[in-house]
Amino acid sequence: MKPWLKPALDFGPLLAFFIAYKFAGLMPATAVLIALTAVSLAATYALERKIHAAPLLSALLVSAFGGLTLWLNDEHFIKLKPTLINLLFAVVLLGGACFGKGLLKPLLGMALVMPDAAWRILSVRWGVFFLALAGINELVWRNTSTDLWVNFKVFGILPLIVLFSLTQLKFIQHHVVEADKTPH
């Protein structure tokens, strides 16, 4: 896959949602988001011959909650979707850590080799972060205008994820194991 295509497929539906919202409102933007998320998922599958769990889960939630938003003409459902997906990620990561599993390892283990204990710590950190992100989304959508929530969804969540990722680099660098050594 060309280097620019993956981000376009990942973030294109969100950008289209924002543009549609600015020109046509939340309901048409929700329809655009549902349609382009499905197209993005299909295109990713066509190019990679696999679908990763996180984009699939996100697409299912976009379809379900976006569909409810349109069907019931109630914007609460689409605003709740980020909360639910972040809570789900938090539950999976924190639940795995409670059972001694660093569930980020299956996702990132091909790129990073670290001891299992480091994977558990990183999973807990990300789990807590996703829990906080769910709480922030709840505060924003319940206490601000739809305009502000849309701006937060499009331009706030991703920078928060990038910023948190950067705060984890030192931990990862400290725990990464050289390729010729075996992690414990």
**φ/ψ (deg, to 5) at 173:** -60, -35
Q: Within the chain, where are the H helices?
A: 5-24, 26-48, 53-72, 76-98, 105-108, 116-143, 146-155, 157-167, 169-175
Higher local confidence (pLDDT), 84 or 54: 84
Q: How confident is the model at residue 120 (pLDDT cuts 50, 70, 90)?
A: very high
Confidence at residue 179, expressed as pLDDT on a 0 to 100 scale: 53
d(CA 79, CA 121): 30
pLDDT of 183 over the 70 cut? no
Least confident of 64-73, 118-127, 170-179: 170-179
**Structure confidence by residue, pLDDT tens digits, 62-98:** 999 999 999 999 999 999 999 999 999 999 999 999 9
29 CB-near residues (< 8 Å, 6+ apart):
17, 18, 20, 21, 150
Alpha-carbon gap, residue 165 to 36, rounded angstroms: 27
Spatial CA neighbour of 47 closest among 79, 10, 17 = 10
Residue 78: both structure tokens together: 């689409």
Stronger pLDDT, 133 or 177, i.e. the higher one: 133
Tell me how far the alpha carbon of residue 128 is from its chain's centroid: 14
Count other Cβ atoms within 10 Å, centred on residue 63.
17
Kindly compute the dihedral angle of the four CA atoms of residues 172, 177, 179, 183, in this order, to the nearest 10 degrees.
Answer: -120
pLDDT band at 175 (very low <50, low <70, confident <90, very high): very high
Amino acid (1-letter code) at residue 50:
K
pLDDT at 180: 47
pLDDT tens digits, one per residue of 146-168: 999 999 999 999 999 999 999 99
> Residues 124-144: pLDDT tens digits?
999 999 999 999 999 999 999
On the question of pLDDT at 181 being above 60, the answer is no
